[in-house]
Amino acid sequence: MSEMDDMDDGSGIIKKFMFLNRKAPHGTVYALEGLEVVLITAAFDQDVSMVFTDDGVYQLIKGVDTKGIEVKDFSRTYRALEGYDIEKLYVDQKSMDARGLTEEDLIVDVTVLSVDEMANLMAEQDVVISF
């Protein structure tokens, strides 16, 4: 097993991952699938940021009731992200403004960023994955 231990299998490498969420929650499956992939990535102890921009900010809205359309209410899962050490949640100010939303409308604590701040955050990532 000592040979195995000497091999560099990359297991200790931590990369910066950004998950960019741009879709509203139920009209397409992107939001739910993106959330699943984020949870998988967190299991590999990576440096994960979740960004919500454009219609993606609608994923974080409070007060959801999906009984009428008979689909899973996954909005509560965003509140569980903290338990997976995913604490870097960012929303785009301009996208919030265009939808009449404020931080009080959201189900989790987030950091609100300007477009310039968002651009810088994206530029410093090793990997950007878009949903």
Partner 1 sequence: MLHIVNKSATERGALDSCLSMATKGSAVLLIEDAVYAATNGNAAAAKIQAAAADLKIYALGPDLAARGMAGRVLDGVNVVDYGGFVDLVAEHSNCQSWL
State the SS3 of 22-91. CCCCCCCCHHHHHHHHHHHHHHCCCEEEEEECHHHHHHHECCCCCHHHCCCCCHHHHHHHHHHCCCEEEE
Q: Rule CB under 8 A: which of 21-80 touch partner 1?
A: 23-28, 54-55, 58, 61-69, 71, 73, 75
> Could you tell me the end-to-end alpha-carbon distance of the chain, in angstroms, rounded to an integer?
40
Q: At its nearest, how many Å lie between partner 1 and the CB of residue 19? A: 18
Q: Can you tell me which of 13, 37, 98, 119 binds partner 1, judged by CB under 8 A?
A: 98
130 binds partner 1 (CB under 8 A): no
Question: Among residues 27 and 119, whose Cβ is nearest to partner 1?
Answer: 27
- Lay out the sheet containing 111-113: strands in order across: 111-113, 88-92, 47-52, 16-21, 127-130
Q: Is 100 in the site for partner 1 (CB under 8 A)?
A: yes
* Shortest CB 104 distance to partner 1, Å: 12
Q: Which is nearer to partner 1, 17 or 30 (CB)?
A: 30
- Residues contributing to the site for partner 1 (CB under 8 A): 23-28, 54-55, 58, 61-69, 71, 73, 75, 98-101, 105
